[in-house]
Amino acid sequence: MRIVLQNVLSAQVTINDEIVSTIGRGFLLFVGFTNGDNEETARLMADKALSLRVFADERGLTNKCIQDIKGEVMSVSQFTLYANVKGGRRPSFTDAMPPLEATKLYDYFNTYLTSKFGKIETGIFGADMKVSLTNDGPFTMLLDSKDLYDR
């Protein structure tokens, strides 16, 4: 599982020229799954994201987590996080989890995230989404379950 985590001042998802979700200051999470990911992986990655101290305190040091700043969270599915470009110029997505399985795991991830954090905003899995954001910093991190946890 991979998450591109961005500290944002704002973010929104638009589908067919209609805004479907929006947040203010907080996290925009682009979320992708690969074969072998499961509910445990989703829980561990959600817990990791929520516990990261990546927001500035009064002294400008990154000492605050998302709950400390009373921020908001948006989760957007992103199968392209598993693009493989080693073989040529056209990406292969064979490492991305198949859509039926990924949809279920994405829904589980969002449900778990909500149970731990509270209300979150989401995109719509598989939709042609337009995501706009104002990155704060910029501050962007890549979380990869293979780097964070023994599996």
Catalytic residue among 80, 93, 94, 111: 80
56 inside domain: yes
150 inside domain: no
Catalytic residue among 6, 12, 41, 78: 78
Indicate whether 8 pLDDT > 80. Answer: yes
Spacing of C-alpha 141 from chain mean position: 10
109 inside domain: yes
Catalytic residue among 79, 109, 117, 122: 79
Per-residue pLDDT, averaged over 53-82, amounts to: 95
CATH of the domain at 33: 3.50.80.10
Q: According to the model, what pLDDT value does residue 150 have?
A: 60
Q: Which domain holds residue 93?
A: 2-145
151 inside domain: no
Instruction: Name the nearest CA neighbour of 142 among 55, 93, 78.
Output: 78
37 inside domain: yes
How many Å apart are CA 43 and CA 111, to the nearest integer?
10
- pLDDT tens track for 74-127: 999 999 999 989 888 899 899 999 999 999 999 999 999 999 999 999 999 989
Catalytic annotation present for 80: yes
Pure H helices in the chain: 39-51, 99-117, 145-148
Catalytic annotation present for 67: no
Strand partners, 7: 27
Per-residue pLDDT, averaged over 11-34, amounts to: 97
Domain count, the chain: 1
* Cβ count within 10 A of residue 90: 7
6 inside domain: yes
Instruction: Categorize the per-residue pLDDT at 149 as very low, low, confident or very high, splitting at 50, 70 and 90.
Output: low
Q: According to the model, what pLDDT value does residue 69 have?
A: 96
Catalytic annotation present for 79: yes
